[in-house]
Amino acid sequence: MEISRGEAEGDPFQVWRDLAGRASLAVRNLVEAVSRQGEPEGLLGDVKALFSEGGTLRGAADLRQAIRVLLVKPGVQALLFYRLYRRLYLRGLRLLPEFLSRLNYLLTGAEIDPGADIGPGCRIWHTAGVTIGRGVKIGRDVWILHNVTLGGRGASPFDPGEEGYPRIGDGAILYTGVTVLGNVEIGPGAVIGAHSLVLDDVPAGSLAYGIPARVVRRPGRH
């Protein structure tokens, strides 16, 4: 058997470091291999985003870091939990996924309805107060900060108000405290400033903020 340099120099942990390195490389290769079969979706897309440029792991294939992220990053935990009960929901179950979404809220502070459709690569940077309602559609690689609320425009749960729920385009960023209500489309790559209330569509690539939110920069100007 080949003896690594650390082992030869008497470093007892080198063999574990080598093993961890190999395991993380294997995980990355597996993700790459499955991704090549088609577009990465759901859980796979989340894992890929973690290892991507700008991801929490900043591209490093380091198993220890991956474990750390799983243990301490509530946004990752909330999304993984959601992926699990969303799958059950899509299979027609109702009570169990709703109960698991309740547990998700208790554990992470994010209330994500199993009926919300969240694309791959989503990043929830802080989970406190994040509320994503049934019927909401979120594209790929969207960033969500704490206290973001996405839901219907009705005045009460018994009055759903105008039909329709927010649709968030690929790569959009919703900063802290953003509330998007009703049949509203946030275009791909749009950025919504902190504590904005969005009641109308926001064009792709633009920056909007305020109550109610107004577009302050058009595409290509930020």
Ligand X SMILES: CC(C)(COP(=O)(O)OP(=O)(O)OC[C@H]1O[C@@H](n2cnc3c(N)ncnc32)[C@H](O)[C@@H]1OP(=O)(O)O)[C@@H](O)C(=O)NCCC(=O)NCCS
Whose Cβ is closer to ligand X: residue 21's or residue 109's?
109
Per CB under 6 A, 175 contacts ligand X: yes
Q: Which residues in the 5-44 window bind ligand X by CB under 6 A?
A: none
Q: Compute, in degrees rounded to 10, the torsion defined by CA atoms 19, 39, 68, 62.
A: 30
Q: Which residues in the 117-146 window bind ligand X by CB under 6 A?
A: 145
Stretch that binds ligand X, among 19-27, 47-55, 69-77, 189-197 (CB under 6 A): 189-197
Output the CA angle 130-135-140, nearest 5 degrees: 70
Stretch that binds ligand X, among 25-33, 72-80, 96-104, 192-200 (CB under 6 A): 192-200
Number of residues that bind ligand X (CB under 6 A): 10
CB of residue 144 to ligand X, shortest distance in Å: 10
- Kind and range of the H or E run holding 66: helix 63-72
Per the CB < 8 A criterion, the answer to whether 152 and 183 are in contact is no
Per CB under 6 A, 65 contacts ligand X: no
Per the CB < 8 A criterion, the answer to whether 42 and 120 are in contact is yes
Instruction: Kindly tell me which residue out of 176, 183, 201, 215 binds ligand X, with binding defined by CB under 6 A.
Output: 176
Stretch that binds ligand X, among 31-39, 51-59, 67-75, 187-195 (CB under 6 A): 187-195
Per CB under 6 A, 174 contacts ligand X: no
Q: Which two tokens stand for residue 115?
A: 């009926």
Instruction: Kindly tell me which residue out of 21, 164, 188, 193 binds ligand X, with binding defined by CB under 6 A.
Output: 193
Compute the distance between CA of residue 140 and CA of residue 172 in angstroms, rounded to an integer. Answer: 9
| CA distance to 135, 153, 154, 161, 163, per residue, from 158 (Å) | 16, 12, 8, 9, 13
Query: In which residue are the tokens 């064009």 written?
Result: 203
Stretch that binds ligand X, among 3-11, 101-109, 154-162, 193-201 (CB under 6 A): 193-201
CB of residue 203 to ligand X, shortest distance in Å: 16
Per CB under 6 A, 85 contacts ligand X: no
Whose Cβ is closer to ligand X: residue 24's or residue 196's?
196
Q: Are strands 214-217 and 197-198 parallel, antiparallel or unpaired?
A: unpaired
Whose Cβ is closer to ligand X: residue 83's or residue 195's?
195
3-state SS of the chain: helix, strand, coil percent to 5? 35, 15, 50
CB of residue 168 to ligand X, shortest distance in Å: 16
Secondary structure (3-state) at 204: coil
Chain residues that interact with ligand X, rule: CB under 6 A: 145, 175-176, 191, 193-196, 209-210
